[in-house]
Amino acid sequence: MSHAKGDRRERELVNRLDAAGFAVMRAPASGSATERELPDALAGNGETFYAIEAKSSSGDPIYLTGEEVEALVFFSQNFGAKPRIGVRFDREDWYFFHPSECYTTDGGNYRVKKETALESGTDFDELTGDSSRTRLDDYDG
């Protein structure tokens, strides 16, 4: 994925969070211009605060290095935010995961497959509190 496409996806996420009533800022130096690792976006609505590492893909699995995820968790703990990995696959919406919900490879990296995102990721409305998901295993049936 090109940097331009990644930047466009990050701006899209920031704009959607803003429209959902969150105060949000994109960290323009994320991934490059600073020695401190910063998340791609910070968002809060007065009750819930997120530090988000955003990744997108045309359909291939999304990988994050162990260092990226460790930096996200470290920053989130110090800032008082919930760490979230936001993934967006072409022609799909955003889905979010706590780092502990992601598959960890033998090499210590993190992976999210498209089918995993669609099946078990937190969707945008659930992240922003506009809906909640009821799962079959929530029923005693």
Q: What would the mean pLDDT of 16-38 be, rounded to a whole number?
A: 79
Under 8 Å CB-to-CB from 38, ≥6 apart: which residues?
27, 29, 30, 75
Length of the chain: 141
What element of type H or E holds 44? strand 41-44
Catalytic center residues: 30
State the pLDDT at residue 130. 79
Measured between alpha carbons, how far is 46 from 27 in angstroms, rounded to an integer?
19
Average the pLDDT over each of 14-18, 25-29, 40-44 and give the range with the smallest value.
25-29
Which pair of tokens denotes residue 70? Answer: 């460790």
Please, what are the domains in the chain?
3-138 (3.40.1350.10)
- Own/partner contacts of 16-22, CB < 8 Å, gap of 24 or more, are 16/94, 16/124, 17/41, 17/43, 17/128, 20/124, 20/128, 20/130, 21/45, 21/128, 22/128
Band of residue 2 on the pLDDT scale cut at 50, 70, 90: low
Contact 116, 96 (CB under 8 A): no
Q: What would the mean pLDDT of 90-118 be, rounded to a whole number?
A: 96
Which pair of tokens denotes residue 30? Answer: 């994320």
Whole-model pTM? Answer: 0.86
Residue 17 has pLDDT above 60, yes or no: yes
State the pLDDT at residue 1. 47
Return binding residues for Mg(2+): 10, 40, 53
Measured between alpha carbons, how far is 39 from 51 in angstroms, rounded to an integer?
6
Max intra-chain CA distance, the chain? 53
